Chain A
Amino acid sequence: MRSSTTAKVIAVVLAILMLIPTAAYASSGETTAPKTQKTTMDEVKEYLYSEDYFTYKTEKDAAGWKDAAGSGITVKAAEGYEFTPDEDYPEQTAEVMQDSEKGSVLHMPEAGTTSWRVNIPETGYYVVRITYKPFETQSINTSNIKREFFVDGKAPFSESYYYEFTRKFVDEYNADMKRDDGSQGFALDKNGNEKKPQKIQIYEWSDSYLMDSQGFVLEPLKYALTQGEHVISFNATMNDIIIDEIAIVPYKSPVSYEEYLAQHGGADASAAADAPKVQAETPSAASDLTIYAVNDRTSSITEPQHAAKQLLNTIGGSKWQTFGQWIEWTIPGSEITESGYYYIVPRFKQSIREGLYVSRSLTINGQIPFENCTRLQFNYSDDWQCSPLTDGEQDLKFWFNAGEDAVIRMEVCYGNMSDTLRQIQDCIEDMNSIYQSIIRITGPSPDEYTSYDFAATIYDSILLMRDVRDRITAIAEQFKKILGGKSASDIATLEKIAYLLDKMSTKESEIAKNLDNLKVNTGYLGTWMMNTKLQALTFDFISLQPAAKPAKQYPRGTAGFWNAFTFEIKAFFASFFTDYNSLGSVEDNSDAEAVEVWISTSREEAQVMREMIDLTCPVKVDLKLVAGGTLLPATLAGDGPDISLAMGQSDVINYAIRSAVEPLYVEADGANNLYSDYPEVCANRFNDQALVGLRLENPDSLGSYIYYGIPERLGFSMLFYRKDIFAELDLEVPQTWDDLYDIVPTLQINYRKIGFPSSLGGLQMLMYQRDEDLYSDIDGDGVMDGMQINIDSKTSLQCFEELVTLFQVFKFPRAYDLATYFRMGEMPIAVADYLTYNQFTIYATELRGLWEFTLLPGTVVRDENNQIVYNEDGTPVINSNAPCSVAATVLMRDKSGRSEELRKNCWEFMKWWTGAEAQSTYAKQYEAIVGMAAKFNTANTEALRNMSWTNSERKNLEAQFAHLKGTPEFPGGYIITRYVDFAFLNCYNNNADATDSLLDQIQYINNELSRKRKEFGLITYEDYKAENEAAHPEWFK
């Protein structure tokens, strides 16, 4: 046992020794290179070690803090502010504007810090309320506004970094579209199905307290402020905002239900009074673009319902499930005929959280009527329900005045579960840190027979384990109470974890044995947490029922047997006559000038696109949802579409060299091209590297290109790292490879791994950072000719050598499950496609703020004499290129020949679809399909910028965007990945020599390239050599 430890130590020492040559080579560049790191680790640490609100509040409470008395202080934002611009966005500045309603107000830009000096009249707790409205910009911006709030330059607790302010969207209805019962209806498509209305954003003033954006605290967050002058500031993290006032006031909690009843006194509305009803699918406003009416066919009495047609008869479901999303309905005063108490009775469906309830908070006309309204409960049932709003203990009645409009707003919250969820989140964080502390001693696969002496080394963690065990046991008890004795998997998960922690914390020998278990269970708990936080709820209608009316007379929740039976029968027969496949368009689009477009994504995505086309596309489009892989046979049969979407770059060129894709632009023809605006369109929209993979050299005019598609999606890698672990190990984020080599030993001593692409992916990255091309350029004119592969050049071989060293010497893993490794902190740094962002954001919510993606480590640029090249400011020039690949929208060959008109329409469609507006809208809709905060990798630069990134995310993304390098496609290019992978695996598995392995494969690659060129009648290397060797012997050395 001793010996294995010794062996490990020796191994580590050896690893370090082996590093020395590289490190020495590295240091020459590094001593002169000042760090240009933007987020410093000090900032990260300050953030990481700030306590959470719960701890803050508990401490302050213990120290005797109380709510302040008096009325607090209100600051007019436009007066006495001080603005500090963000150094990365120096042009952004706050400015005073004139508002017709509020007078002078302050526009705070999307970056920079705005501060005010305030004089707090009295020591005590205060809450902060702002009066704001979103800033109307030209780009469509629909994501929440995010700000950090500081007091005297510091965030007193970590929640203070994450304040969010919602926007307001309304549906545009056509007043003529009335349903049979006279209520507001929707526009119909050609099949008679209802179509979603367009949503528009409205810019109105609203008040908002600074609330916990995670939803764990029901009240506004309280700041403990001493009497005297303080500086308060908002630091922008996302989007512009206009604010009028900042009120720092003592919090007045809403009255209790009893007080509410006592206040209003009076009587129940009589049983005979009208029972106003509003259809939920026509709300008066909503917080998100993605909350829209949906069709429900699960019940025959959902209003309205039709056996064959798709009516948008409900709202919510998975579109209305994340904390903070709200919907507002207005009950017209004219329908409230009698003042008095009413029950609010919605018809709803909550069929997701089995055994549990989902929560909503309620405001009426902007006010929380009484305290219970912050924690309304909707219980589980697999069918529709129709019952009064309840807080879980009693049905609640509300006072309504006759003739007064009532605006009812329901917002997703966690209600009575808030605190429990917060505790579980804490437990997950603690379990993570326990895991971290154990693997620091043992590595990720400990030897269970080794005595690690945990009691001496990680005693704190053992105590923490016991503490977490007790907390989880307590939570399980609470759940038992909620579930009322019903057994559920929820409790089982918790009890299992408590048992595990008990075992580990009481018997030292169990710690190493159960380490894996701990990891798996932490993952479970994280997933469970994520699911529990989704509070999906669907509404059919909302009615007010006079309190005196007996509950038996309320509308029904579930349909009667015969009603449901006849509905199902009707629907069954209707299914023979209904075309469910057509993507409901308004008009008939099958005429000759309509552009036929094929899409092979999910139905939902296609539906979204159809709607967008109907709303904004300038030409008629016949959109068809086809199965993947249909394109090739259809093209072969001459029956293909006009346009195919999101085709990978290698396919584009494969089709193009077999003339199945039409060229869009021939450079040599200039203005004679049909689509002569192609270069202009592309230059404005895309990174120039995006076009590299979509063009071929023109055989008739060498040195110029023919372009075959218009970029739609652009993929590339970025560096992901865990801030908390870097801070803990006291590491800086590597900017260059030398930096990376420097931190490898520290990471490895702490049993951390590094995720890095192997084979061609890794090789290309290294090559592109040295400006080495993948293909040869024999005549040296700067245009790759694709006749030979260039990975046998001196630089390329060096790159491959370096890549192999990472895996052979530093033992980088080749195969790994990034999501799990990253989540558990085993792999705190990894190079991965930037869309991995989605996975981390959506599935590892407990890591919020603990990770970031940033520019790839780069290569220090050296000139011919191997001297470092410097920027003007004295920093070395670093090349951080990432290889990128595109998917494109292409125009397919049409054997029968397209009319001039149709050709123009095709181009119009392509321009529309890849434009910033369409791509932005699609990106937003994509969130609704995939999940909140999900991003899609649009190639459109403006659309990418417009997505809801935070400032620092956008900054890093833009930095990488400026460092991209596309790979051209040539006939036979598919062979490269294969042989480079063989070479790499030979090195990896058999410890073979890198250069030899790679050189062994070169001839196979070159043969295939030549063979393919011959097939397409292009000049091969051999022929080219025969022709030109006499004249230019230097080309063929």
Chain B
Amino acid sequence: MSQNTAVKERKAKPVARKDMSRAAWTLKEMKKNKAGYIMIAPFFILFFVFTVVPVFLSMILSFTSFNLLEWPKFVGLDNYVRLFLDDDIFLTAIQNTLIFAVITGPVSYLLSLFVAWFINELPPKMRAFVTLIFYAPSIAGSMYQIFGIFFSSDRYGYVNGFLIEFNFITEPIQWFADARYVMPLCIIVALWTSLGTTFLSFIAGLQIVDNSLYEAGALDGVKNRWQELWYITLPSMKEQLMFGAVMSITGSFGFGGIVTALAGFPSVDYCAWTIMHHLEDYGGQRFEVGYSSAIATILFLMMIGSNMLIKKLLSKVGQ
């Protein structure tokens, strides 16, 4: 809707876009909306200096050999060549990252959506309370450490203790040090902690849907709650859906910290080794910042790619 009004306004202008160069047009528009630009300036400057510049710097560094302590040396595409042709572990990392992203991304996204949808049905006070309960795991910092205690490799860890007690096993299982268990456990923990900002934004999105739309929908023949959700609720909260999707993707691609905390660095046989770990390994432990910048660049491109994909998918919502 807002797009439509914008188009109308533009049509009403005497000066047409094609009359001037693109730069001049932008400048003109900026002047017109000066107040807005001033207001976003403080954030934008900080964002630009501390986020955009480093991203570009990192891209530049990815063409160098840089050990953090000495001046970088330009090496051309060497890092990328090595990354794709001479680094088996990187391939493992990509594989794991994709597994994480494909499983935890969509699952946590849908989980957030449905939990938010259900919670939205509750009376307001109850809703606030339940929201807090669901949101708590993600604000409580390293609460996931509790899984480390549950699945401790000691024979007195809760799960081991339980299994030994009931004679399922005789020797403790090394949960986070056994390649068979690490990945599934980490996915479970990731899902548990994933009800975060995404979920909160969905709740907010659900609250702003205009009630009159539902009434209109009812008159126009919406038969059940699913149709209501698909044709009315979701299209009205597309912005939140988009926001949630971006958060989920970056979250699942950037997954790594929890694995490190639970399964150690590196996890046994690199079984839960993600791109994030690979990046930390080279940047932090091996002092090869050029190489790790190349990894970061790849990760960045993967995220952008999947963002575009998601955008495409989301445009199908309600159709």
Which residues in B have their C-beta under 8 angstroms from that of A635?
69
* A659 x B178 contact (CB < 8 A): no
* B69 x A660 contact (CB < 8 A): yes
* Most chain A beta-carbon contacts within 10 A, residue among B156, B177, B179, B180: B156
Are A813 and B154 also in contact (CB < 8 A) when A989-B174, A1015-B65 are? yes
Which residues in B have their C-beta under 8 angstroms from that of A654?
287
Q: Does A404 contact B (CB under 8 A)?
A: no
The stretch that binds B, out of A233-241, A247-255, A315-323, A974-982, is A974-982
Q: How far is the CB of A183 from chain B (nearest CB, A)?
A: 49
Interface class of chain B by DSSP = loop
Cα A881 to Cα B135 with chains together (Å) = 53
Cα A444 to Cα B171 with chains together (Å) = 12
Q: How far is the CB of A659 from chain B (nearest CB, A)?
A: 7
Which residues in B have their C-beta under 8 angstroms from that of A660?
69
Q: How far is the CB of B42 from chain A (nearest CB, A)?
A: 25
Q: Does B172 contact A (CB under 8 A)?
A: yes
Are A978 and B266 also in contact (CB < 8 A) when A814-B153, A988-B174 are? yes
* B70 x A658 contact (CB < 8 A): yes
Q: Does B238 contact A (CB under 8 A)?
A: no
Which residues in B have their C-beta under 8 angstroms from that of A1015?
65, 67, 288
* B156 x A817 contact (CB < 8 A): yes
Which residues in A have their C-beta under 8 angstroms from that of B287?
654, 658
* B179 x A655 contact (CB < 8 A): no
Q: Does B11 contact A (CB under 8 A)?
A: no
Are A985 and B154 also in contact (CB < 8 A) when A635-B69, A659-B70, A811-B171 are? no
* A658 x B174 contact (CB < 8 A): no
Q: Does A1024 contact B (CB under 8 A)?
A: no
Are A814 and B177 also in contact (CB < 8 A) when A635-B69, A654-B287, A660-B69 are? yes
With both beta carbons as reference points, the residue of chain B lying nearest to A983 in the complex is identified as B269
* B167 x A447 contact (CB < 8 A): yes
Which residues in B have their C-beta under 8 angstroms from that of A985?
174, 177-179, 268-269
Cα A509 to Cα B165 with chains together (Å) = 16
Cα A986 to Cα B270 with chains together (Å) = 12
Interface range on chain A: under 10, 10 to 19, 20 to 34, or 35 or more? 20 to 34
With both beta carbons as reference points, the residue of chain B lying nearest to A448 in the complex is identified as B165
**Interface residue from A655, A815, A1012 paired with B69 (Cβ < 8 Å):** A655
Q: How far is the CB of B75 from chain A (nearest CB, A)?
A: 11
Q: Does B126 contact A (CB under 8 A)?
A: no
Q: Which residues of chain B in 160-175 are interfacial with respect to chain A, using CB atoms and an 8 Å cutoff?
A: 161, 164-165, 167, 171-172, 174
* A982 x B152 contact (CB < 8 A): no
Are A659 and B69 also in contact (CB < 8 A) when A985-B269, A986-B269 are? yes
With both beta carbons as reference points, the residue of chain A lying nearest to B270 in the complex is identified as A982
Q: Does B155 contact A (CB under 8 A)?
A: yes
Q: How far is the CB of B53 from chain A (nearest CB, A)?
A: 16
The 8 A CB mask of A781-823 against B (1 = contact, 0 = none) is: 0000000000000000000000000000001011111000000
The 8 A CB mask of B176-219 against A (1 = contact, 0 = none) is: 01111000000000000000000000000000000000000000
Q: Does A632 contact B (CB under 8 A)?
A: yes
Which residues in B have their C-beta under 8 angstroms from that of A1026?
none
Cα A760 to Cα B29 with chains together (Å) = 65
Q: Does A298 contact B (CB under 8 A)?
A: no
Q: Does B130 contact A (CB under 8 A)?
A: no
Q: Does A636 contact B (CB under 8 A)?
A: yes
* A815 x B268 contact (CB < 8 A): no
Q: Does B285 contact A (CB under 8 A)?
A: yes
Cα A815 to Cα B152 with chains together (Å) = 8
Cα A1012 to Cα B153 with chains together (Å) = 34
Q: Which residues of chain A in 291-342 are interfacial with respect to chain B, using CB atoms and an 8 Å cutoff?
A: none
Which residues in A have their C-beta under 8 angstroms from that of B161?
445
* Number of residues on chain B facing chain A (CB within 8 A): 28
Q: How far is the CB of A5 from chain B (nearest CB, A)?
A: 13
Q: Does B28 contact A (CB under 8 A)?
A: no
Q: How far is the CB of B264 from chain A (nearest CB, A)?
A: 9
* A815 x B154 contact (CB < 8 A): yes
Which residues in B have their C-beta under 8 angstroms from that of A1012?
286
Which residues in B have their C-beta under 8 angstroms from that of A447?
167
* B164 x A445 contact (CB < 8 A): yes
Q: How far is the CB of A6 from chain B (nearest CB, A)?
A: 14
**Interface residue from B68, B153, B155, B177 paired with A445 (Cβ < 8 Å):** B155
Q: Which residues of chain B in 139-162 are interfacial with respect to chain A, using CB atoms and an 8 Å cutoff?
A: 152-156, 161
Cα A462 to Cα B288 with chains together (Å) = 64
Q: Which residues of chain A in 1008-1037 are interfacial with respect to chain B, using CB atoms and an 8 Å cutoff?
A: 1012, 1015
* B268 x A813 contact (CB < 8 A): no
Which residues in A have their C-beta under 8 angstroms from that of B178?
985, 989
Cα A817 to Cα B161 with chains together (Å) = 14
Cα A636 to Cα B71 with chains together (Å) = 9
Cα A982 to Cα B171 with chains together (Å) = 20
* A817 x B177 contact (CB < 8 A): no
Q: How far is the CB of B259 from chain A (nearest CB, A)?
A: 15
* B70 x A813 contact (CB < 8 A): no
Q: How far is the CB of B161 from chain A (nearest CB, A)?
A: 8
With both beta carbons as reference points, the residue of chain B lying nearest to A1016 in the complex is identified as B67
Are A974 and B285 also in contact (CB < 8 A) when A813-B172, A985-B269 are? yes
Cα A689 to Cα B267 with chains together (Å) = 32
Which residues in B have their C-beta under 8 angstroms from that of A516?
156
Q: Which residues of chain B in 262-304 are interfacial with respect to chain A, using CB atoms and an 8 Å cutoff?
A: 266, 268-269, 285-288
Q: How far is the CB of B41 from chain A (nearest CB, A)?
A: 27
With both beta carbons as reference points, the residue of chain A lying nearest to B181 in the complex is identified as A989
* A815 x B153 contact (CB < 8 A): yes
Which residues in B have their C-beta under 8 angstroms from that of A816?
154-155
Q: Which residues of chain A in 652-666 are interfacial with respect to chain B, using CB atoms and an 8 Å cutoff?
A: 654-655, 658-660
* A813 x B69 contact (CB < 8 A): no
With both beta carbons as reference points, the residue of chain B lying nearest to A660 in the complex is identified as B69
Cα A959 to Cα B172 with chains together (Å) = 36
Q: How far is the CB of B207 from chain A (nearest CB, A)?
A: 42
**Interface residue from A815, A974, A982 paired with B269 (Cβ < 8 Å):** A982
Cα A42 to Cα B174 with chains together (Å) = 40
* Most chain A beta-carbon contacts within 10 A, residue among B152, B268, B288: B268
Which residues in B have their C-beta under 8 angstroms from that of A989?
174, 177-180, 268
Q: How far is the CB of B216 from chain A (nearest CB, A)?
A: 58
Which residues in B have their C-beta under 8 angstroms from that of A636?
68-69
Which residues in A have their C-beta under 8 angstroms from that of B266?
978
* B154 x A817 contact (CB < 8 A): yes
Cα A1012 to Cα B287 with chains together (Å) = 11
Q: How far is the CB of B173 from chain A (nearest CB, A)?
A: 9
Q: Which residues of chain A in 632-683 are interfacial with respect to chain B, using CB atoms and an 8 Å cutoff?
A: 632, 635-636, 654-655, 658-660
* A815 x B174 contact (CB < 8 A): yes
Which residues in A have their C-beta under 8 angstroms from that of B69?
632, 635-636, 655, 658-660
Q: How far is the CB of B140 from chain A (nearest CB, A)?
A: 24
Q: Which residues of chain B in 50-108 are interfacial with respect to chain A, using CB atoms and an 8 Å cutoff?
A: 65, 67-70
Which residues in B have their C-beta under 8 angstroms from that of A978?
266
* B164 x A815 contact (CB < 8 A): no
The 8 A CB mask of A389-425 against B (1 = contact, 0 = none) is: 0000000000000000000000000000000000000
Q: How far is the CB of A493 from chain B (nearest CB, A)?
A: 21
The 8 A CB mask of A513-526 against B (1 = contact, 0 = none) is: 00010000000000
Cα A198 to Cα B156 with chains together (Å) = 49
* Most chain B beta-carbon contacts within 10 A, residue among A516, A814, A989: A989
With both beta carbons as reference points, the residue of chain A lying nearest to B264 in the complex is identified as A981
* B156 x A981 contact (CB < 8 A): no
Q: Which A residues lie at the B interface, using CB under 8 A?
A: 4, 444-445, 447, 516, 632, 635-636, 654-655, 658-660, 811, 813-817, 974, 978, 981-982, 985-986, 988-989, 1012, 1015
A-B pairs with beta carbons under 8 Å apart, 10 shown: A444-B155, A635-B69, A636-B68, A658-B70, A658-B287, A814-B177, A974-B285, A974-B286, A989-B174, A1012-B286
Extra pairs beyond A632-B68, A636-B69 (9, CB < 8 Å): A4-B167, A444-B155, A447-B167, A658-B287, A659-B69, A813-B172, A988-B174, A988-B177, A989-B174
The 10 closest A-B pairs by CB, nearest first: A815-B153, A658-B69, A660-B69, A989-B178, A985-B268, A815-B154, A658-B67, A982-B269, A445-B164, A985-B177
